[in-house]
Structure 1
């Protein structure tokens, strides 16, 4: 029996900077011109990170490999837009955070467990199977309607009364969303948690970990916020 851990991460960031001056500077300007100019810098930053982690446990021989693979994915992107304004004549300096379009989820984590088996002499025959079969996760309404249809067909061929079967789902998906509002900041944060496990078969940690799990965090402007852009720093120089 072997246990291995593998992790790969990629981080990137895109930066855009735009500078404007009022009044516009001449082509050949001197330092004295800057002292009489209102300077504004607008910066948009989009940092992102992606992390993949694999945990593999099982049998690894020269000919046969049979493992349980747990795969975790983390994706995060948090854009920001900041403007800085400097007016040396009036002695005014101000930094503001401006509204920026953000993706639906600024951070998301997905964890999935799979069973992997393969013969090293025939790699094309590799089999990757979900720990929890899709049949166990079908909606309860679909199970009931299927059973009702089967019961209806049976009643046509049998004259005696047939009792309806007792339906007990083997695996029940769970999904919930938690939200909080920060009216002072004009933001609404939501955390969505979803899991599909086999805890209904046996209430143990192993059965709870098996399956699919996901957590996603989203930030959106609050509809109750009517204020101006957030002022991070504002200073008047004497």
Structure 2
């Protein structure tokens, strides 16, 4: 079985994001970038399926500027077999990403597309669902456990009422949630080996996809600063503040 894992280069989750002075976007100058945490979980799950003997090959694909090759190399160092880099310096919206991934899926013919449920930069949570719709494949989102069966996959997902288990046939698309696994760190020998693993270069034009943005960013601003809390001496004082100052009761 071949597994395709899309990965995205985003601002590292430990970095405090700053808005540009002109409010046109987020300042990325001299900011540490890394693999999207949910994508990292998807890569780890694909590697675990390979270690169980379920998968034979793991292909990672990333869409973005030249620096996105670093993200692909990270996935290769973790244990993926080869990479595909779709090069573009433009901002690519989820629908365009899904259309590009559709072209990659048709070229690679994987049995499973395993991707993070969302990226921490735009929080769109849409690419996996859009790809499933374009391909006409079954999907299971927010997976907390994935098990291979004779005909497909059993996917356990967390819902408001507890846990739900879905049985879906292959080929399928699964998006990963936080509690699926704990991603491994790449060892130094594997980092060196990753430099020799192949990365195929592509462009959106190779898949006939127009990546012109459909959305316009009007303004980006920081959330308002929270006011410091206060201590009250009695319940009556608390009720008074909630009623007359906060206006919530």
The two structures share one fold, judged by TM-score above 0.5: no
User: Which fold has the larger relative contact order, with Cα–Cα distance below 8 Å and residues 6 or more apart in sequence?
Assistant: 2
Q: Select the structure that is richer in helix.
A: 2
TM-score, scaled to structure 2: 0.18
Bigger Rg, which one: 1
| TM-score normalised by structure 1 residue count | 0.19
